[in-house]
Amino acid sequence: MPRAPRKQAPRIGPQSVRIIGGQFRRTPITVVDAPGLRPTPDRVRETVFNWLSHLWDTNFDDKSVLDPFAGSGAMGFEAASRGASRIVMVETERRAIFAMTTLRDKLDATNIELIHGDGLAAMRRLTGAKFDVIFLDPPFGEGKLDKVWPLLPGVLAQDGLVYVESEAAVNVPEGFALVRQDTAGAVHFALLERIPAAT
């Protein structure tokens, strides 16, 4: 008698990734199952933070970070693990905010601020702050990067950096210079530097 086809095992619980460096190294980060939410791969995170460590001489202590499309919070938690002074993460998915809040409280990471809401709206409200680096990893295919570029001058320090993750090669906007770029599979990522205004 022929066997019935084997059913695929159901997914049990949320997925997770791990913090790869700093004081919270190896700590798991919950990744909720939500549309468009995909954590930055380990190799990419390691590469990006190597770039930042080189530029900042491994000193994150006085750096402030904004992640307006935080997703799982992997990039922000990596920055917190390395001692960044302030990390602001924004996310629309309520379950992701809950997971990030739980982990922040477990780690007693008081340098992390979490905002439940739209990343673009948050950038418009945060114009009183100037961040040293902004992580831009919006959901692919929604054209959000085009809406972000005009908002950067209001929230980025004069010599600030911008990390961009995209489904296509990054077009460097006016007022910025390309520092480093790479690819990982179908993901393109780059580090940009703001060009100081002429005096």
What is the pLDDT at residue 186? 84
Of the candidates 179, 168, 76, 170, which has an alpha carbon nearest to the alpha carbon of residue 119? 76
Q: Give CATH for domain 57-194.
A: 3.40.50.150
- Print pLDDT tens along the chain (199 aa): 444 444 443 333 448 899 999 999 999 999 988 877 778 888 999 999 999 999 999 999 999 999 999 999 999 999 999 999 999 999 999 999 999 999 999 999 999 999 999 999 999 999 888 999 999 998 877 788 899 999 999 999 999 999 999 888 888 999 999 999 999 888 899 999 998 776 5
DSSP string of 26-93, one letter each residue: T-EEEE---TT--PPPHHHHHHHHHHHHHHTTT--TT-EEEETT-TT-HHHHHHHHTT-SEEEEEES-
pTM of the model: 0.89
Alpha carbon distance 132, 59 (integer Å): 12
Helix or strand holding residue 17 (H, E): strand 15-18
Alpha carbon distance 132, 86 (integer Å): 10
Of the candidates 159, 152, 144, 157, which has an alpha carbon nearest to the alpha carbon of residue 193? 159
What is the pLDDT at residue 5? 43
What is the pLDDT at residue 193? 96
